Amino acid sequence: MDGSDAKKVVNESGIEIQTLYGPGDVERSGGMDFVGDPGGYPFTRGIHKEMYRKRPWTMRQYAGFGNPAETNQRFKYLIENGQTGLNVAFDLPTQTGLDSDNVLAEGEVGRVGMAIDSLADFETAFDGIDLDKITVSLTINGSAAILIAMYLAMAEKRGYDLKTLRGTAQNDILKEFIGRGTWVFPVEPSIKLVGDTIEFCAEHTPKYSPVSVCGYHIRESGCNPAEEMAYAFCIAKAYADDVIGRGMHVDEFAGRLSYNFNLFGNLFEQVAKFRAGRSLWAKIIKEEYGAEDPRSMWLRMIAGGGGGGLTFEQPEVNIMRGAYYALISALSGTQTMALCSYDEAYTIPTEYSARISLRTMQLLMDEMGLCDTVDPLAGSYYVETLTNQMRGKMEAVMAEVAEAGGIVEMVKDGRIQAKVSEQAYDMHKDIESGEFPKVGVNRYRIEEDDEHEVEFHPYNIADAEMQIESLRGVRSRRDTKAASAALAKVKGAAEAGDNVMPAIMEAVKAYATVGEITDAMVEVYGRYEEPIRF
């Protein structure tokens, strides 16, 4: 209690905020025991000793549309403009394991991302891009095992050594069941597939990160910041448990796990979330899993300025929101940054809006001194207290999930989906009523808003037709026997319960398609049936 008459303030994670903080508050919340030094356990202040002084954050705007040739041009445009990594957007047919000529793909080919059918498309998409200099993150989940294999096969074909090849795949299927929705197979085989990629990559591509566990989309779907991180840790543990169950040691894979978190909301709550999360994950991996390698304890992450915070109303104001999100990201010690562009409530980003996002991050890096010193908010009575409190909230959420039977069970029966969507509904009502302030939405509205036009990224149906044409070309040119034999091996490996990755690698090299490889696995695993809970 601080004795003031000020109106009660509670952050989204449910922590009451005082008018003033002092050393006593830090002590009462748990003291500074968890703070430590950057680069050392428990990593509250950052996973590296020198952080941005040594290496600034990677800038990785989400990009991809139309066919691979067009996307290749956008990639090159972003790189020319100073982007330091790629974050690949795939269209929905690719994400859900359908070929571009599937009837279910009609009208969707190349619309919200790049269409990929076979290895030939990856060869085109990354043509002329130096994969040693530009690391590539694949935003792919339901069909991730196939797309990872295509990426590795493409790199290998171009002469890169898989032992040193870097890159990331999102490949977090559990969050797809909670939000985002690009699942393919039922829950159990889906987790098994993630385990297959972790196991395969640990052996063959030790620098490649096969999974980026996402709190981001669960936050977009309605959970609060403490839950965002807690749920992500529960999910990461589910994957870790799968591969440990196969006999792997935690230090063989944990160092290549990465994370993806959201940034919108209260600045201090967000910064505290990241600082608290780093120490909590380090503690889990060390104490529960017995890791000894400090790298296994690192909470490596991309933190993205989420679309959930942006508004349809007065879209140009989203440019400023994005700037504050980027500031949060830099103050939080993220490894990689991405921002939803200001027009994303309307359309996928144009070159223009993508460039504004990139410049926003570059401003922080080059003009504002965000790279000068590590964890600049450390020692603030408020931030340290809040960091301790956020850690407590996350632990409480994780305990609740364990009590409820674990995240996998909650996903299977739809309890977690229902909980998150209920919170989204409550938040939406609070925004409509003005209880939760949103500039331009429930205050400072302008009438001419209705007149506002953003420039739309055009959808070109001819690109989709070209993609289908090129897919047919691949099917007619390839060695049909080899492709069929490889597909039979994928099915065989799935049936036997073996790791399917070696068979998938062989299949993609034989130019089997995303749809064909998916279907081979569907024959064994079946398809996910969504529990309709909201």
Partner 1 sequence: MTSAKKIKVLIGKPGLDGHDVGAKIVARALIDAGFDVVYTGLRKTPSEIAQQAMEIEADVIGLSSLAGSHIDFCTKLKGLIDQYGLKEKLWLIGGCIPKQDHGALKEIGLDGIFPNGSRLDDIVEFISANTQSGDA
By CB under 8 A, name the binding residues for partner 1: 92-93, 95-96, 98, 104-108, 111-112, 176, 179-182, 220-222, 311-313, 345-347, 421-422, 424-425, 428-429, 432, 441, 453, 456, 459, 530, 532, 534
What are the beta bridge partners of residue 258? Answer: 212
- Cβ 457 to partner 1, closest distance in Å? 9
Work out how close the CB of 311 gets to partner 1 at its nearest, in angstroms, rounded to a whole number. 8
CA geometry: angle 311, 314, 302, nearest 5 deg: 40
Return the number of the residue (181 or 502) whose C-beta is nearest partner 1. Answer: 181
b/e sequence 286-301, b meaning 16+ C-beta within 10 Å: beebebeebebbbbbb
Beta 301-305 vs 135-139: how paired, if at all?
unpaired
What is the nearest approach in angstroms of partner 1 to the Cβ of residue 345?
Answer: 5
- Of 169 and 390, which has the nearer Cβ to partner 1? 169
Classify strands 16-17 and 9-10 as parallel, antiparallel or unpaired: antiparallel
Q: Torsions phi, psi of 367, nearest 5?
A: -115, -25
Q: Which of residues 2 and 455 has its CB atom nearest to partner 1 in the complex? A: 455
Separation between Cα atoms, residue 85 and residue 137, nearest integer Å:
8
Q: CB–CB of 10/16 below 8 Å? A: yes
**Measured from the CB of residue 234, what is the shortest distance to partner 1 in angstroms?**
21
CB 434 → partner 1: shortest distance, Å? 12
Tell me how far apart the alpha carbons of residues 340 and 359 are, in angstroms, rounded to a whole number: 13
> 93 vs 333, which CB is nearer to partner 1?
93
Q: Distance (Å, rounded) from C-alpha 299 to C-alpha 105?
A: 37
Helix H or strand E encompassing 239: helix 225-244
CB closer to partner 1, 219 vs 491: 219
Q: Three-state DSSP class for 129?
A: coil
CA 468 to chain CA centroid, nearest Å: 29
CB of 441 to partner 1, least distance (A): 8
User: CB of residue 245 vs partner 1: minimum separation in angstroms?
Assistant: 29
> How far apart are the C-alpha atoms of 141 and 88, rounded to whole Å?
12
Structure tokens at 359: 């410049």
Residue 82 or residue 307: which is nearer to partner 1 going by CB? Answer: 307
Which residue lies nearer to partner 1 by CB, 108 or 199? 108
